[in-house]
Amino acid sequence: MGSEELTIRCNTKPISPATAASPASNNAVKIIQKAIKYLLENKKFMLQVFLLVLTPFWILVLFHSIIVGPLIEKVEDSYEKSSLSRQDLISLLALEIPFAVAFSLVLLFGSVVAIFATALIHQDASLSLQEIMLRIRSTWKKTITSGLTVSILMTTIISLIVIAVYLTPLLGVLAALTYPYLASICNLGLVISTVEDDFPGTKGLFRAQEFVKKSKFQGYLLMLMLILLSIPIYLAFYVISTDDDDQIGHITRFAFLLVATVLFCLTIFFNNIVYTLLYLELKSGYHLVHMACTGS
């Protein structure tokens, strides 16, 4: 029997992890409630973990605002006056590319930290930042490979959706409806690649696809709910981080930027907690089925 097989056939009808797991693992709302419970019951530890996620991202946001912000403002003003300089565009692109890479790495780091923290709580292991950093240190090559795979896939998916919207609204709607399913596979794939040694990169994505399908698309429903909750925060972060209104003052602007950054990081943090719990629940259900079939 293959280790990746998710439907186990005993002497009776086929059983999937979704039907064998507890009701909590089959209900998207209960998964979210459990994630909130993890945060509330481990306040001190989770606050430390969140600050570990927030700090590098906030520093990067500040550097981006200070270094790239003035150039963005210059390019926007030039565009409005129809005097856009090609040199300014090249300079902006030259700055944005390194920052985009840096933001991707910081977000990957934050995601992995949240995943490991949730796994430690679930395992009743020693809750410490040192333990998380030790795990990251021992798996960083696999993490980067998995993160790169997921990033490329997500970028491709989003690009195709944008193209579909541009071609025809109907095709765009269909693509948008498909996005939560594909995004749930990517999120679950990153979780699997992080916590499981045998499923790096694309192997984690294929395993995630099987789990999402066999769990009656619970991952799809979770992603849909998280998207609806996250969109206002993402939009607020984008608007505030790209706003060049000098009338509100630099201190006020940085205050708004800090609030938006905290909410943005909290959203990423919470999303990874939710999907880690989803995987752990589905995995637990799978092992229950396996034990029932083997009698072990």
pLDDT digits (tens, 9 = 90+) for 179-222: 888 888 889 999 999 988 888 888 888 898 888 887 767 778 88
Answer whether 112's CB lies under 8 Å from 134's CB: no
16 pLDDT exceeds 50?
Answer: no
Indicate the number of domains in the chain: 1
pLDDT (0 to 100) of residue 248: 61
pTM summary value: 0.81
CA 152 to chain centre: 14
| H/E stretch holding 211 | helix 201-214
Q: Residue 257 falls within a domain, yes or no? A: yes
**Domain-located, residue 138:** yes
Structural domain includes residue 119:
yes
How far apart are the C-alpha atoms of 194 and 110, rounded to whole Å?
12
Confidence of residue 245 (pLDDT cuts 50, 70, 90): low
Q: How much of the chain, in percent, has pLDDT values that exceed 70?
A: 84
CA-CA distance, 267 to 232, in Å (whole number)? Answer: 11
Q: State the average pLDDT over residues 91-106.
A: 90
Backbone φ and ψ of 10, nearest 5°: -100, -150
Q: Rounded to whole angstroms, how far apart are CA atoms 132 and 130?
A: 5
Cβ contact 147:201 at 8 Å: no
pLDDT score at 190: 92
Task: Flag whether pLDDT at 7 surpasses 80.
Answer: no
Opening angle at CA 108, ends 32 and 6, nearest 5: 55
pLDDT of residue 60: 94
The whole-number pLDDT of residue 98 equals 92
1 within some domain: no
- The answer as to whether 7 is a domain residue is no
Mean pLDDT of the chain: 79
Residue 83 inside a domain? The answer is no
**Contact yes or no for 31/274 (Cβ under 8 A):** yes
Picking from 31, 29, 8, 30, the residue whose alpha carbon sits closest to that of residue 20 is 8
pLDDT of residue 102: 93
Question: Measured between alpha carbons, how far is 28 from 278 in angstroms, rounded to an integer?
Answer: 9
115 inside domain: yes
At 195, which helix (H) or strand (E)?
A: helix 169-195
Residue 51 lies in a domain: yes
Q: What is the domain range of residue 116? A: 17-67+110-294
| CA dist., res. 199 & res. 76, Å (int) | 45
How confident is the model over 42-89, as pLDDT tens digits? 999 999 999 999 999 999 999 998 888 888 888 877 777 777 778 878
Q: What is the dihedral of CA 67, 65, 61, 274, to 10 degrees?
A: -140
Residue 8's DSSP bridge partners are: 15
